[in-house]
Amino acid sequence: MIGRGIVTTNKARCRDCYRCVRVCPVKAIRISEGQAHVDASRCVVCGTCVRECPQKAKQVRNDLDKVRLMVEGSTKVIASVAPSYVAAFPDYGGGLFPALLKTLGFAMVTETAVGAEMVARETALLVNEEPYTHISSACPALVDFISKYHPSVVGNITPIVSPMVAHARYLKTRYGDDYKVVFIGPCPAKKAEAEDPHVGGAVDAVLTYEELRLWIEGASARKDQLISADFDDIPASLARLFPLEGGLAESASMGPNLLRQDFAAISGSSEVMEMLENIKSGSPIRLFEALFCPGGCINGACFGDGRDIFRRRNYVLQHQKRAQNQGSDEEIRAAMECVKMRRAISENPVELPQVSEEAIREVLAKTGKTKPEDELNCGACGYASCRDNAVAVLSGMAEQNMCLPWMRKVAERKADQIIDNSPNGIVIVDSTLRVVDFNPAFGEMFAATQGLIGKPLSTIMDPDDFEKVLAGTVDRIVSKEVSFPSYHVSASMNVYRLEDEDLVVGIFSNISRGTEGLSRLDRIREETLSHAEEVIKKQMTMAQEIAGILGETTSETRVLLRKLTDLIKESEDQNGRSKD
């Protein structure tokens, strides 16, 4: 199966939460530079990552424009609608849904359930003919999963086409290859199946319910203007139950008793894995009706309606119960006779790199796991165990920094190093203003020892600013210059609160040396000013005594000394303003 580029990642939305890695049943998510990418060679297009991504970063290829061009062109297009449509569009019941699709441009609107009944009957014939364990082939994600990851079991898959392909082949046989067939359903894997060379050409395009919903929302058709219409061609019958667990057996009239010893209806990747192990060990089951999505096709990844699977199941059951027109046995037989129901299913094993135990140990050691007890197996990286993550790293599917506990330790060590080596004093207090921790610079600044931890901050300083920040009576950050005479320290203090931790942090930048320098400069200026005044007084005295002798010289000296005095005062004023 090809399936390349069907599921992609919107890089702008991806937040490296590893949710897609965690839920992917085949670990087809490759993490590169913190971004999650889908490895198409490993992907089975089940859409689990699309359904589970909380950021809606995983997207299914949109074929809406392709289908619009089809219906707007000269070629007639037939819609083959999956029986689960009633659960996706319950507001368009009573014949409104076929009418709606015809307003969008489809020449005919038919039910894929007709193909489902054909497949159910063919499966019953095969199981009765071949006395070994069979796995139903209706689910393309399941078929791809087995062919890629359990190729030894491929021979147990019934070599029968899916309902989508059977119905499309029938429609083209009956109406001619000039018609194009568009399948509409909830499964992204159908897009991959339509491109499978073993069944290629039957289906021309696939639309998911989400794509159809977008089309309807953008169309001008109004629900109150629709005229109810029946589906075209053969009416469906019990096969309308096909999307439910056990639907195949019910459609094939094998009976509704799911407790039969030779039959088992399963769904979900976990049950599929158990089924495969059961088959490998020798299973007594004759037929496994297996669907890859938990709950069956009513839980397809592209439903997009937000309803739970139980409500969807109820819609499907009610729809089948209300159905009046059912295809006759002769019509179904005639359809099967003109359609090739069998197909080839080949092995397509994924080549997983072989890694040595030594290489695994080296990767584990790089993330601090040198002993078995160091392997937490917490699953935060998305893998079930630390060893699985190490193998993924060696395979190029994962990155070393995906180990969150290890990354947290690295971040804590770096933070501790920054704090310990900071020239600023840093202290942390709790909601009771008791010291939680402090760095060496703070200890040196305030002569504090480790015995301070757990004691009130008030034992070394006034905690008033810390109290205000904690109580929220001031701004979140208090910045000011403070003096601690008993420690001969002047500091620029910043106090702020760690909201999530209910802690208060104080950062003290020692400015004592700068203050001492300013004080010395002030003293020099004052001494210079005093000396200048003294000189002026002496000169004035001398001037009075020998005024006649000095004449102009006294006047010049006085002007010079006054200028010096003014200069010193001006410098002092400027310094005072700079302090403010």
Instruction: Say how many C-beta atoms besides its own lie within 10 A of residue 138's C-beta.
Output: 27
Q: What is the 3-state secondary structure (H, E, C) of 74-103?
A: CCCEEEEECCCHHHHCHHHCCCHHHHHHHH
Q: Note whether residue 265 is domain-resident.
A: yes
What share of the chain in percent tops pLDDT 90?
A: 67
**DSSP 8-state code for residue 62:** P
DSSP-derived pairing of the beta strands 425-429 and 435-438: antiparallel
Same domain membership, residue 245 and residue 149: yes
Residues 261 and 314 in one domain: yes
Question: What integer pLDDT is reported at residue 549 of this predicted model?
Answer: 45
| The pLDDT value given to residue 329 | 78
Judgement on whether residues 122 and 204 belong to the same structural domain of the protein: yes
Alpha helices, H only, 439-493: 440-446, 464-471
Residue 3 has pLDDT above 50, yes or no: no
Task: Please say which residue of 337, 370, 392 terminates a domain.
Answer: 337
Does 488 lie in the same domain as 393?
no
The answer to whether residues 436 and 296 belong to one domain is no
- Considering the domain architecture, whether residues 370 and 255 belong to the same structural domain is answered as no
Inside any domain, residue 470: yes
Name the domain boundary from 337, 370, 398: 337
Kindly state the percentage of the chain with pLDDT values over 70: 85
Quote helix, strand, coil % in the chain, to nearest 5.
50, 15, 35
The Cα 568–Cα 580 span in angstroms is 19
Q: Evaluate whether residue 8 is within a structural domain.
A: no
Are 263 and 193 within one domain? yes
Helix (H) or strand (E) holding 314: helix 309-322
Q: What is the pLDDT of residues 275-309, one digit of tens each?
A: 999 999 998 999 999 999 999 999 999 998 888 99
pLDDT score, position 413? 87
Q: Is there a single domain that holds both residue 328 and residue 360?
A: no
pLDDT at 261: 66
Same domain flag for 356 and 333: no
Could you tell me if residue 26 is inside a domain? no
pLDDT at 551 over 90: no
Give a yes or no: residue 179 inside a domain: yes
pLDDT in tens, 22-32: 999 999 999 99
Q: Answer yes or no: is 22 within a domain.
A: no
The greatest distance separating any two alpha carbons of the chain, rounded to the nearest whole angstrom, comes to 147
> How confident is the model at residue 325, as a pLDDT?
57
Could you tell me if residue 347 is inside a domain?
no
pLDDT for position 573 = 56
At 524 the pLDDT is: 52
367-376: average pLDDT: 94
> Do residue 394 and residue 495 come from a single domain?
no
Which of 279, 314, 337 is the last residue in one of the domains? 337
Examine the domain organization and report whether 225 and 154 are in the same domain.
yes
Instruction: Name the average pLDDT for the chain.
Output: 87
Q: For 507-515, what is the mean pLDDT?
A: 80
Give the model's confidence band at 48: pLDDT under 50 very low, under 70 low, under 90 confident, else very high: very high
Q: How many structural domains comprise the chain?
A: 4
Global pTM value: 0.77
For the segment 111-127, the average pLDDT, to the nearest whole number, is 93
Task: Let me know whether 432 and 554 are in one domain.
Answer: no
State residue 296's pLDDT score: 95
d(CA 282, CA 528): 107
Q: What is the pLDDT of residue 155?
A: 96
Name which residue leads in pLDDT, 255 or 109: 109
Above 70 in pLDDT, residue 264?
Answer: yes
Which tokens belong to 526?
A: 């004052």
Of 117-131, 184-198, 327-341, 420-434, give the lowest mean pLDDT range: 327-341
**Mean pLDDT throughout 50-56?**
95
β pairing state of 503-510 and 425-429:
antiparallel
Confidence label for 101 from pLDDT (cuts 50, 70 and 90): very high
Q: Give the mean model confidence (pLDDT) for residues 540-546.
A: 55
Range from 65-79, 350-364, 469-483 carrying the lowest mean pLDDT:
469-483
* Across 322-342, average pLDDT: 81
Using alpha carbons only, what angle is made at residue 230 by residues 225 and 234, rounded to the nearest 5 degrees?
A: 160
CA distances (Å), origin 164, targets 87, 146, 203, 229, 468: 18, 20, 8, 22, 70
pLDDT range class, residue 201, cuts 50, 70, 90: confident
Q: What is the CATH number of the domain that holds 490?
A: 3.30.450.20
pLDDT band at 519 (very low <50, low <70, confident <90, very high): low
Q: Check residue 121 and give its pLDDT.
A: 92
**The pLDDT of residue 577 is above 80:** no
Average pLDDT for residues 51-59, to the nearest whole number?
Answer: 95
Query: What is the full DSSP assignment across 462-490?
Result: --HHHHHHHHTSS-SEEEEEEEEGGGTEE
Q: Per the domain annotation, does 517 fall within a domain?
A: no
Looking at residue 352, its pLDDT comes to: 87
Tell whether the model's pLDDT for residue 550 goes beyond 50: no
Residue type at position 528: T
In which band, very low, low, confident or very high, does the pLDDT at 256 lie, cut at 50, 70 and 90? very low
Q: Please, what is the end-to-end C-alpha distance for the chain in angstroms?
A: 77
Give the per-residue pLDDT at 281.
93
- Residue 488: which residues within 8 A CB-CB, separation 6 or more? 512
Question: How does residue 412 score in pLDDT terms, banded at 50, 70 and 90?
Answer: confident
Q: What burial letters (b/e) apply to 448-459, b meaning 16+ CB within 10 Å?
A: beeebeeeebee
For 140-162, what is the mean pLDDT?
97
Q: Provide the β-strand partners of residue 503.
A: 498
Domain residues for the domain of 496 are: 422-510
Task: Return the structure tokens found at 190.
Answer: 């159908």
